[in-house]
């Protein structure tokens, strides 16, 4: 029997300070907060049809994963987030020129990287045709 996997349902990131991290994702990034369960120390956000789970972690180590948030206008999103005090590791920059049209109509992939309060790597991503 062949099983076909569906869309990504949920991703999880660790948090050393769940209250601080909830505030960042809800108030600074503007993500839709769903619920918090304490104990055991879980917080959920809606990202389209995918949930983001923030899980309290005593280890204090950031995830090796990177979450890429799609935005239609990366320069506008970058300016808006900087005005809210978010520190970026880099300004929006070209990552890949898709000359063969592998990911779209032959456009460019642009990204800007930043971190959440726990050091988890996040990025804005935009595809420009």
100 alpha carbon, distance to own chain's centre:
27
| 3 state DSSP class of 30 | coil
The whole-number pLDDT of residue 60 equals 73
Domains of the chain are 7-61 (3.10.180.10), 62-129 (3.10.180.10)
pLDDT in tens, 68-115: 999 999 999 999 999 999 999 999 999 999 988 888 778 999 999 999
pLDDT in tens, 14-67: 999 999 999 999 999 999 999 999 999 999 999 999 999 999 998 878 999 999
d(Cα 112, Cα 128) in Å, to the nearest integer?
Answer: 14
Total-model pTM: 0.92
| 3 state DSSP class of 31 | coil
């Amino acid at each position: 029997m062949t099983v076909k996997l569906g869309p990504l349902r949920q991703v999880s990131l660790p948090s050393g300070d769940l209250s601080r991290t909830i505030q960042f994702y809800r108030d600074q990034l503007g993500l839709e907060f769903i619920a918090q369960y304490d104990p055991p120390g879980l917080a959920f956000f809606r990202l389209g049809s995918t949930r983001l789970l923030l899980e309290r972690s005593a280890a204090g180590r950031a995830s090796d994963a990177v979450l890429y948030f799609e935005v239609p206008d990366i320069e506008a999103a970058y300016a808006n987030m900087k005005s809210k005090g978010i520190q970026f590791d880099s300004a929006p920059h070209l990552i890949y020129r898709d000359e063969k049209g592998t990911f779209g109509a032959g456009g460019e992939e642009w990204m800007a990287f930043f971190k959440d309060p726990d050091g988890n790597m996040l990025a804005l991503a935009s595809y420009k045709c």
